[in-house]
Amino acid sequence: MRRRKGSLTPCVTSNIMNMRMGVLSTTAVQNQFSIAQLERMQLSKKKEFEQTFSTSICSMDLEDVEERYLLSGIGDGGLFIHDLYAVNGSSRLTIKTICKIPTGSTHAHKYGIQKVQWYPFDTGMFTSSSLDEKLKVWDTNTLKPAGTFTIQGGITCHHMSPVAVKHCLIAACSRSPVIKMFDLKKGSAVHELRGHREPAIVCCWSPVNEFFLATGGCDGKLLLWDVRCTKTCLLAFDRKGTNMKPTHKDLSRAHEGYVNGISFMKSGLEVMSLGTDNQLRVWSMVTGLQKSVCFNRIPTERSQHTEMAIANNSRPEFIFVPSQGKIFMLNTRTGALVKTLLGHFNSVNCCVFREKDQELYSGGRDRTILVWSAIPELDEETANSDEKCTTTTTVSAMQDAWSDDEGT
């Protein structure tokens, strides 16, 4: 008998039986089920985003409060907010734009967006940075800037800590080796981090420790900072397998080319870096050494930061890495290529993962945000078949009940 599309695989069914017999724990079965779903990630046939973009999508961020609102910034300075719950259509669902800051409007950025981010604890505020030298803090309700910071030379990336309770700092990279630290409460720059010899490209806060910040630059360096002590970096990761001492940190290089992507594991114990040397590396936050995980070469020539996404709802975790017109789905423990996602007609710039619905959203130079789903979607023929089956069963049950009544 042919198995219906979307039904459980024999492996998953076997795991459920083992759980009932006490051979496997519930957590282990849930984990294996998540892995089985993620390995079936494919382009959604049911969902699409409203086509409102005039140029490439440069950056995206999904808020953590509800995982409902997707913020995106495009190459001509425009900003968009999509409500993932606001969908139209029956056979194919279209995710609508609920508000936007149009290109050329009074408060919009003059040049391309480099980074967008929701305020981690409240969707009433978000931030954006651009090559127009402005880092703007926006009021979501009014769509007007509540504050603006300026860095000469243009901003390439910025980031706020997702767990900070003792500070309100925004780290920002520019076309300079110096990383600027802005305080939201004071409305001004408060610190500078000096450790790179060439312009810094990307920065990322630890998801666990609110004082740990990782930065990467054109010098191939990947540095870890404790922002309570800004005189020198805490660690300088080195690809040659040495943990550089403070006096030798200038010699360390994590990549042969630029470091243009940084992502932390959810535990905060490991950090991943992407470089223009086509290498993806995993580093231990405890030892400062590179982990023995070997990934295939990942072609990347972007001198701007690349936004990767990690699916943290499985063990091992999977990372999604944009590479030209593709997205590589990789096992973070073995380095194995799980899947190559194809769908964009031009280079992919960014992607975010939504754990609630097991979905990935990717944006690229083809002016499109695509939806990738790990949960099997029933095609129209199967759905209609299921509906007929349900209707027939219901009618049959009603007839049986009516016959029983007649016989009494």
DSSP per-residue string spanning 356-392 = TTTEEEEEETTS-EEEEESS----HHHHHHHHHHHHH
Per-residue pLDDT of 334-354, as tens digits, reads: 999 999 999 999 999 999 999
- Percent of the chain topping pLDDT 70: 82
In a domain, 401, yes or no: no
Q: Is residue 303 one of the residues assigned to a domain?
A: yes
More confident residue, 327 or 312: 327
Structure confidence at residue 395 as a pLDDT band (50, 70, 90): very low
Is residue 214 within 8 A of residue 203, CB to CB? The reply is yes
* Whether 28 and 101 share a structural domain: no
User: For residue 165, what is the domain's CATH number?
Assistant: 2.130.10.10
Residue 403 falls inside a structural domain: no
Tell me what the mean pLDDT of segment 7-17 comes to.
59
**Mean pLDDT across the chain:** 87
Residue 227 has pLDDT above 90, yes or no: yes
Q: Do 32 and 59 belong together in one domain?
A: no
Q: Are residues 119 and 30 in the same domain?
A: no
Does residue 159 sit in the same domain as residue 306? yes
Examine the domain organization and report whether 307 and 346 are in the same domain. yes
User: pLDDT grade, residue 407 (50/70/90)?
Assistant: very low
Do residue 28 and residue 60 come from a single domain? Answer: no
DSSP classification of residue 152: T
Q: Sort strands 200-205 and 188-194 into parallel, antiparallel or unpaired.
A: unpaired
Q: How far is residue 276's CA from residue 108's CA, in Å, rounded to a whole number?
A: 31
- Do residues 13 and 99 both lie within one domain? no
DSSP 307: B
Q: DSSP 3-state assignment of 402?
A: helix
For the purposes of burial, counting CB atoms within 10 Å of the CB of 45, is it exposed (0-12), middle (13-18) or buried (19 or more)?
middle
What is the token pair recorded at 358?
């097991």
Within a domain: 174: yes
Q: Is the pLDDT of residue 173 over 60?
A: yes
pTM listed for this prediction: 0.86
At 87 the pLDDT is: 86
- What are 246-264's pLDDT values in tens digits? 445 567 999 999 999 999 9
Q: What is the pLDDT of residue 88?
A: 80
- In sequence order, which residues have a C-beta less than 8 Å from that of residue 7 and are 6 or more positions away? none
Residue 250: strand, helix, or coil:
helix
Indicate the number of domains in the chain: 2
The answer on pLDDT for 383 being more than 90 is: no
Least-confidence region, from 31-35, 183-187, 223-227: 31-35
User: Is residue 25 domain-shared with residue 80, that is, in the same domain?
Assistant: no
CB 246 within 8 A of CB 232: yes
Q: Is the pLDDT of residue 10 over 90?
A: no
Q: Is the pLDDT of residue 192 over 90?
A: yes
Least confident of 9-23, 77-91, 123-137, 363-377: 9-23
Higher pLDDT, 220 or 22: 220
Are residues 168 and 215 both part of a single domain? Answer: yes
**Is residue 109 one of the residues assigned to a domain?**
yes
| CA–CA–CA angle 379, 380, 382 (5° rounding) | 70
Residue percentage of the chain with pLDDT more than 90: 73
Predicted local distance difference test score (pLDDT) of residue 315: 84
Buried b (16+ CB within 10 A) or exposed e, 2-12: eeeeeeeeeeb
Shared domain for 19 and 108, answered yes or no, is: no
2-16, 95-109, 236-250: lowest mean pLDDT where? 2-16
pLDDT on residue 4:
46
**CA–CA gap between residue 274 and residue 317 (Å, rounded):** 17
The pLDDT score that the predictor gives to residue 249 is: 59
pLDDT at 314: 81
Which pLDDT score, from 0 to 100, does residue 58 have?
97
Q: Which domain holds residue 19?
A: 9-38
**Whether residues 229 and 124 fall in one domain:** yes
| Residues 273 and 150 occupy one common structural domain | yes
In a domain, 371, yes or no: yes
Cis-peptide into 316, omega within 30 deg: yes
CA 105-109-112 angle, 5° bins: 120
Kindly state whether residue 405 falls inside one of the protein's structural domains: no
Burial class, 60, CB count within 10 angstroms (exposed 0-12 / middle 13-18 / buried 19+): buried
**Mean pLDDT, residues 347-368 taken together:** 96
**DSSP line for 3-55:** PPTTSPPHHHHHHHHHHHTTSS-HHHHHHHHHHHHHTT-EE-SSEEE----SS
Asked if residue 283 belongs to a domain, the reply is yes
Confidence at 2, pLDDT banded by 50, 70, 90: very low
